[in-house]
Every structure is written in C-alpha cells, then in structure tokens.
Structure 1
Amino acid sequence: MSERYQEFQSLLKGNAEAVEALLAMLLSGSVAADEIARPERLLAAMRHGVLNGGKRLRPFLVIESAALFPGVERTAALRVGAALECIHCYSLVHDDLPAMDDDDLRRGQPTVHIAFDEAAAILAGDSLLTLAFDIVAAPETRLPDATKTALVLALARAAGIGGMAGGQALDLAAETDAPDEAGIVTLQKMKTGALLRFACEAGAIVAGASAGDRLTLRRYGETVGLAFQIADDLLDLTADAATMGKATGKDADRGKATLVARRGQAWAENRLRELVAEAEALLAPFDHRAGILIETAHFIANRRN
C-alpha cells in the first residue's frame, strides 16, 4: 500500500467523520432562527436518510479541491460539502420510493419509506433539499456574498431540471424507451455526474480561484463523474447486495441500457483506466498539490462498493 494511498484513506475517513458530525449538528432538534418548530418524526426520517455512514465522497471532493489553493478556510468548504451531501441524500431518499426505483435497502439498512412511510420520505427529501441552500446561505458559512451566490447557482443547476433531477426523469423514461449510447451518456452526466462535477468546481469557487482553475476542476469532476458511473454499472453486474449495501442487478432486471451492458466488462475496465489518465493529465498543472485528487480518481475507478 503506497504512502499516498494511506494518506488518501486517512483523509477520506477523517473528512467523513467531520461531515457526519456537522450533519448531526445541523439535523439536531435545536430550532434555528426564523424556524417555528422541527417536527420530531420528520427530523428522525431526515436523520435516518443522512446519518447512515457512507464515504461522503462528494463533500471530500469539495474539501480537497478547495485545499489545492492556499488560504482557504476549511470550515467553509466543509459546510459547502455538507450542503452537497444533503442534496445527494435527498436524491437517494426520493429515488428509493416505490414510484421511482422502489428499493428497500440503502447502505445496508431499510430505506426511509420502509423505516417510516412514503409521506415521511417525501417530506424528508424536500426538507433536505431546502436545508442544503440554507447551509450555503447561512452566516456560519463565512464566504463573501458573491461566492455564496455563485455556489447557490451552480448547485441549483447541478441538482435541478438540467442536472440530477432531470437525469432521474430520463432514467425512469429509459425503462420503457431505451436510449442510444449518446442518450445514455447524457442521462448519466445529469443523474450522477452533475453533482460530482459541482463538488470539484465548488472547491474552486470557495477558494475564489481563477476562471481557468475553476474550469479545470469542473472538467476533472466531469471525468471522475463518468468513471464513477461506469464503475457503478460494472459493480451492478458483478457485485452482490451484501457488498454493495443495496440491491444489485436492478438495471438489467428493468431492461435499462448502460454503457457497460452494451460494451462489456473488458471495455469498462479499459475505459476506467483511460479516464484515470485523463484526470491525472487535467491535474498536472497543480503538481504535487493534486496528489490526493489523483488518488481519488483511482479510488473512484477501482472501488468495490
């Protein structure tokens, strides 16, 4: 095991613990200014959907992308990462609903609509989506107003109709009208890639980086986003539910086309190697500072759950 990989694993674990602690605080029973009350059952459903472990990869990418630049306040990057994780978790809570992907298991535990009920899951997702923008805008996120505006706009575009939510709509449509390869790429860029792209670009926004550096990190995010989806589709074909902590083989059961299903395992493994090389090339201008993000690209491509 290389020294850099050990450093990566240590940082991933430490950041996940920091994100978990911050999310636990944000989802406490304490009523914030201008809130009237926090209904106990709704809060419990939100906590069930969020405080359930996980790698916290998206916040990690925010924090480590911001860390490329000197003088960045880590707390601000951590809070933006927590906001992004709220969006991600809301999407999982809603995707698991019977009207969507109809899943009973998430991260090895019952999904929110199973542990509570469908109405609670819908409201938990709604509340997490709203909370994300609350976190970015709040005075505790010590960033200039212009930076917060840029973050809110970028996050809304990544999460909404032209990003993750739109991608989920395309994914549902794909069950009855299979897209061609270009359509699959578009779907995956939206449903999975958009939030990963935002995670990396957000680090540059938090840091007040140049337009060129912001574009570089955006492209890096797009690259690892594609790698994440190919690795995910590969795992859906090859891993078991116990390893994944969720049902596997569901895309094939629903007749959903994926690039991996069309091209095969050998193509997927080769494409993952190509994407890691592309990510490394994009980060070359950052020299040794990019070591952790390069290791992250390898981790995303080679993950086993």
Structure 2
Amino acid sequence: MNVQNVLKEKQKIINEHLSALLVSDSPSHHTLYQAMNYSLLAGGKRIRPTLFLLVLDMLGVNSSLYLDIACAIECIHTYSLIHDDLPCMDNDDYRRGRLTNHKVFGPAMATLAGDGLLTYAFELLTSGSQISPIKQSRLVYILAKAAGPSGMVGGQAQDIESENRKQTVEELKFMDSCKTGCMLTSPVDMASVLADCEKTEYDALHSFSVHLGLLFQITDDLLDATSSLETMGKKAGQDEKLDKSTYVSELGIDGARQMAEKEASAAVEALNIFGEKAWALQGLIPYILNRKK
C-alpha cells in the first residue's frame, strides 16, 4: 500500500469515528452541537490524528484502540480554527471551502462551539479504561501543554501582536513552534508514551515532529502567498493583508522553499533509526512539502 492510500484510509477511519461522537440528548443544546459538528465534520486533511495513528502503527501498537485520543487531538485543532476565524481574530469568511462557523451561527455561538470542542477533547482523552491512570495523566499533560499558553495559544497571542511589526526568522520559528508545531509534536509524543518508547526512540520521533511542524508552517506561508480560495478552501493573501512577517516576506518565495526542503530532509533523517518500518511517516513528509491546500 502506498502512502496516499494509507493517508486516505486513516482519514476515512477518523471521519467515521468523529461523525459518531457529538450527539446531544437535550434538544436545548441542538444549535451548539450543530455548530460543533459543522466545523468538526467539514473535512480537512486530519494530519494531526493521522500522525498519532501512524506512529502507533510503526511502533507495533494497535492504533484502532485509541481512536478517541486521535479524535480528541482533532477536536482541539478544530476549536482553534473556529476561534482563529472569528471577527476579533483573523476575521475570515471561508474555511475548508465553505463559510466559517461564525458566518453561519454567529460569533457568540461559534465561540461556544470552539469552547465545547476544546473541553470535550479532554472528556474523550480521559474516557478510555484501557489506559493506565499514569499514562492517561501524561497524555492529558502533553496535550494541555501543547494547546495552552506556552503552546498554541501563546503562539497565537504572539501572532496577534506581530501584526504591523517586522519579525526576524528566529522570532518566526519560535512563534510557529508554539502556534503550529506544538499541535504536531504532541500527537507524536502521545503515541510514544502509549508505546512505551525508549528514550532514543522518543527523542528521534520528537525531533522528526519538530521539523515536520516547521515544514508545515513554511508551506502554509507559501500557500498563503501563492494559492487561491478555490485551491485552499480559504482566502489567500491574508498574511500580507494583516502585514504579518512570514517566511515568504522575510526570505522570498525561493528562500522559503529552500528552508522547507531543508526541514523536510531533517525530518527524514530523524527517522533513520527506525529503518524501513518508518516508510509511512517518511511518505508523509513529501506530502506536506508538496501540498496544495
């Protein structure tokens, strides 16, 4: 099976599991659940939960036992997208090819939908009886730290404060390691914990995920500068509109592409200790490097 087929298979499994999760017994909560599902089930690449499942597979763990955890990761990612799009944040009209949550349900309900997904993620994370309490607490810690003020939220705050202010490449790398990178390193770290990885394996996988996270953000900057609404499913050119420093604004398109290729090579190298069994993870790297949306 090639990597594209593996990614499609994982995406299908994740989508099926997500579609069965958010069902309310109370008619009074219908609109909230409708808003949560509107964004959660809107498609997308499912890179973060797929990454979690692929690492488990590589390490010989039955990943089908941990779909709730994979979906918890996706819930947090989706919450962040809803809040990013709000009028008080990036004020975007489109996400994944259709109107953003607040354009359909209003800013207040969209905010609550994001809040609901964030907190529901930890309900999912702690509902599995097959995980020991020690491991479960470790998973909660990793995901909460990645999503919180020293991780994704901190990166988003830095991003807001960077509007109309030039940043160096090093400042960008730190911001993006928080804003984007933490939610790509955490699925890998969580899988490593579940698989009882030795330190050398844990460190190698963590290094791989750090380079993958930076690669993802560089390609995101490139797409914002070169793509379109029709291709990406959201408006392009938003970084320039908000006068934000990006890898493209600081390095140019060619320089940003060279940096992306360097991060891709480093991610591949980090997986070398796993040999051929890392083939799916290795295949994910060019997929991200060459993505169109």
Structures share a fold, TM > 0.5? yes
Distance 1:8 1:28 in 2: 33
- Residue number among 15, 24, 40 corresponding to 2:19 in the alignment: 24
Q: Are residues 1:260 and 2:248 paired? A: yes
The residue number in structure 1 matching 2:154 is 166
Q: Supply the distance in 2 between the matched residues of 1:88 and 1:250 (Cα, whole angstroms).
A: 20
Distance 2:122 2:198 in 1: 24
* TM-score, reference length from structure 1: 0.93
Q: 1:88 to 1:136 in 2, by over 3 A?
A: same
Between the aligned partners of 1:250 and 1:93, the Cα distance in structure 2 is 16
- Pair 1:100 & 2:86 matched: no
> Which of 58, 63, 66 matches 2:56?
66
2:173 paired residue among 154, 168, 185: 185
Counterpart mapping for 1:250-289 below 5 A: 250-289=238-277
| Aligned-partner SS, 1:26 | coil
Whichever residue aligns with residue 279 of structure 1, its letter is A
Are the equivalent residues in 1 in contact too, given 2:225–2:236 (CA < 8 A)?
A: yes
Give the letter for the 1:148 counterpart: Q
| Cα RMSD (Å) | 1.4
Pairing partner for 1:51 from 41, 45, 51: 41
* Partners of 2:168 and 2:250 within 8 A in 1: no
Q: Determine if the alignment matches structure 1 residue 295 to structure 2 residue 290.
A: no
Contact 1:147 1:208 in 2 (8 A): no
Within the candidate set 188, 193, 198, 1:200 is matched to 188
Report the CA distance between 1:176 and its aligned residue: 3.7
Report % sequence identity.
35
The 8 Å contact of residues 77 and 203 in structure 1, kept in 2 or not, is answered as no
Alignment of 1:23-172 (within 5 A): 23-29=18-24, 31=25, 39-70=29-60, 72-139=61-128, 142-172=130-160
Aligned length: 293
- Cα distance between partner residues in 1 of 2:116 and 2:189: 25
**Given that residues 148 and 154 in structure 2 are in contact (C-alpha distance below 8 angstroms), is that contact kept between their aligned partners in structure 1?**
yes
**SS of residue paired to 1:216:** helix
Aligned equivalent of 2:232, options 232, 237, 244 = 244
CA contact (8 A) 2:165 2:243 kept: no
Deviation, 1:37, is 7.6
> Would the aligned equivalents of 1:76 and 1:143 in 2 still touch at CA under 8 Å?
no
Contact kept? 1:66, 1:77, Cα under 8 Å: no
8 A contact 1:76–1:206 mirrored in 2: no
Comparing 77-86 with 94-103, which one deviates more in the overlay? 77-86
Q: Distance in 2 between matches of 1:272 and 1:44?
A: 38
Letter of the structure 2 residue corresponding to residue 193 of structure 1: G
Are the structure 2 counterparts of residues 139 and 202 from structure 1 closer, same or farther at C-alpha, using a change threshold of 3 Å? closer
Using the TM superposition, name which of 207-216 and 90-99 deviates more: 207-216
More moved, 274-283 vs 219-228: 274-283
Q: Which residue of 2 aligns with 1:3?
A: none
